[in-house]
Structure 1
Amino acid sequence: MPVDPALSVLAKPLESGQAWPRPSCPTCQSGFVRFSSPTEVESHESSSARGHDAFEPEWITGTFVVQGECENPECRQSIHGTGNYGVDYSDRSNYDDYGPSYSSYYTITHLHPPMLMMPIPGSAPDNVREGVLRASRVLFADPGLAATALRATVELFLTHAGVAATTPSGKFRSAHERIEEWRDADPGRPEVADLLFAVKWLGNAGTHEDADLTVIEVLDGARVLDEAFHRLFTGPDIQARARRINAAKGPSRRP
């Protein structure tokens, strides 16, 4: 499956009363997570300001908690979420004689267990799998760190592929140099290498002290890496399956 579009919806503030997206369950990966209504906890500063003569609803801020559960009856994985909320003009209501209507807006900062940022091919090595999980854990809390973790996932793949992470003298090699070596080892790899370079550049941007990457931008990087891994892992698996069917001239029942 491609990168879950529900994650892009969760990356944006959700208005009170708006239907929450149903992301794929990170545990069974076959069910979908249904979220309950958030529970708001107004901040002390916000509640103290309510007595001010100039108080406006837009001053209200706080945190919220939300709970989800996988709809797959064989799974029922619980998901716990937290984040920040604030009050602003409603996007779903019209002005009336009494002025504008207001709504709470919820911004997710953490989900546990984390939603998988991208699918992990079954034939991917364990270190690559762990790299994707690491990036997924911080996607909403720190997009820059998530982008850096995606770049590290590329480097973990290169290590698995036999491209050394250090020079003979023990000096660390750059990701760019390692991708070039991997690309040059096989003339059929330039397109996949371009995908890996793109993830590398995004990860570089995430490491800067003034990094301002958004969750949406990191998810774009995950789509690029997903395509690279599809070509590296999923594509060969499907081709091997096709060869077995062709050889059997019908269904192949080899394990």
Structure 2
Amino acid sequence: MEHVEPNIDGFKYYCSRFKNHFSFDERLTPWSCPHCKIGRLIAKEENFFCQETLILHSERKPSLQYSGFFICNCCDNKTFSTGTGKNNYYCGGDDETGDFTEMYVNEYTPQFFSPSIMLFNPPASTPQSVRDSLKRAFSICWCDIPASCNVLRVTVEILLKERWPEVPIVINGQNLNKKLNELKKIEASQPKLLEILDYFLAIKWLGNNGSHDAELEERDLAVAFKIMDKALILLYSRDDNSVSEWVRMINAAEGRPIKS
């Protein structure tokens, strides 16, 4: 029988997620502070109201709901959040002692943040209109995945107008697919821009699905966010250029002190 290698890229796609959960046993959460963009959000139990929601005529366990606020471990600002939770069972054994342990832990998943948190931080030179559109996508991704992906598609439209304001079809056209194809012709000699336009096309397809059949899942939006993050880095990050310039200056000076 022919040996078939597993599709690693497909597996990574399937496992992509952004809806991390948190518990009060581990107070430091995965999310950055939306105020200072530096610190991490901390979940202190005394800052949250948690309650069980009973499920009638069902054998399922009661679900949990929470509301409250996180505190930044850097700037101390508060971020309000609501969401749901589950009482999960964990068990395991200690290989050295042979002891068996078991525990129940309440774990919570956010459905809303205020202010909305950034799932990734775009480069500093990213246009404000693009940042604002991203914030709208981030604000609803927790509770409405198809709508969030559609907003990300709108972000692509905004990006095209910011980057190619002189191209008539970009400003006046209604069909995003035609815009991308036209820009590929215009930028045919620019491999980097062609790669970015392919990124935008992938987001466009996912956004279309979000608009028409609402069958998108968390992994689809998680991948769309990763694609947008990479596209913005390619378009607006200048880190590589600054390093290259420093290398040129040092080599030209042959180790002598560089004066301003």
TM-score, scaled relative to structure 1 = 0.74
CA drift of 1:134 comes to 1.0
Tell me the residue number matched to 1:39.
49
Structure 1 Cα separation of the partners of residues 106 and 247 of structure 2: 55
Q: Which amino acid counterpart does residue 208 of structure 2 have in structure 1?
A: N
Runs (5+) with no aligned partner, structure 1: 1-7, 95-99
**Mapping 1:74-153, distance limit 5 Å:** 75-87=75-87, 90-92=89-91, 102-153=104-155
CA gap 1:20/1:10 in 2 versus in 1, 3 angstroms: farther
CA gap 1:159/1:90 in 2 versus in 1, 3 angstroms: same
Query: Does the aligned pair in 2 maintain the 1:147–1:203 contact within 8 Å?
Result: yes
Residue 205 of structure 2 corresponds to residue 180 of structure 1: no
CA gap 1:157/1:210 in 2 versus in 1, 3 angstroms: closer
Higher strand share: 2
Query: Does the aligned pair in 1 maintain the 2:24–2:43 contact within 8 Å?
Result: no
Query: Does the aligned pair in 2 maintain the 1:199–1:224 contact within 8 Å?
Result: yes
Comparing 236-245 with 203-212, greater Cα deviation is found at 236-245
Q: Which amino acid counterpart does residue 152 of structure 2 have in structure 1?
A: L
Runs (5+) with no aligned partner, structure 2: 1-15, 94-101
Tell me the residue number matched to 1:202.
206
CA gap 1:197/1:66 in 2 versus in 1, 3 angstroms: same
Q: Which amino acid counterpart does residue 145 of structure 1 have in structure 2?
A: A
1:208-231 residue CA offsets vs partner (Å, 9 max, x unmatched): 2432321x4312111111111111
Query: Does the aligned pair in 2 maintain the 1:117–1:135 contact within 8 Å?
Result: no
- What SS is found at the alignment partner of 1:33? strand
1:156-184 residue CA offsets vs partner (Å, 9 max, x unmatched): 011112244464xxxx5211111222222
Identity among equivalent positions (%) equals: 21
CA drift of 1:244 comes to 6.7
Instruction: Indicate the RMSD between aligned Cα atoms, in angstroms.
Output: 3.2
- What SS is found at the alignment partner of 1:90? strand
Q: Which amino acid counterpart does residue 30 of structure 2 have in structure 1?
A: R
Q: Which runs of 4+ in 1 moved over 6 A?
A: 250-254
Aligned residues: 225
Query: Does the aligned pair in 2 maintain the 1:22–1:34 contact within 8 Å?
Result: no
Structure 2 Cα separation of the partners of residues 22 and 205 of structure 1: 29
Query: Does the aligned pair in 2 maintain the 1:117–1:132 contact within 8 Å?
Result: no
CA drift of 1:101 comes to 6.5
CA gap 1:67/1:9 in 2 versus in 1, 3 angstroms: farther
CA gap 1:221/1:191 in 2 versus in 1, 3 angstroms: same
CA gap 1:35/1:101 in 2 versus in 1, 3 angstroms: closer
CA gap 1:62/1:209 in 2 versus in 1, 3 angstroms: same
Q: Which amino acid counterpart does residue 32 of structure 1 have in structure 2?
A: R
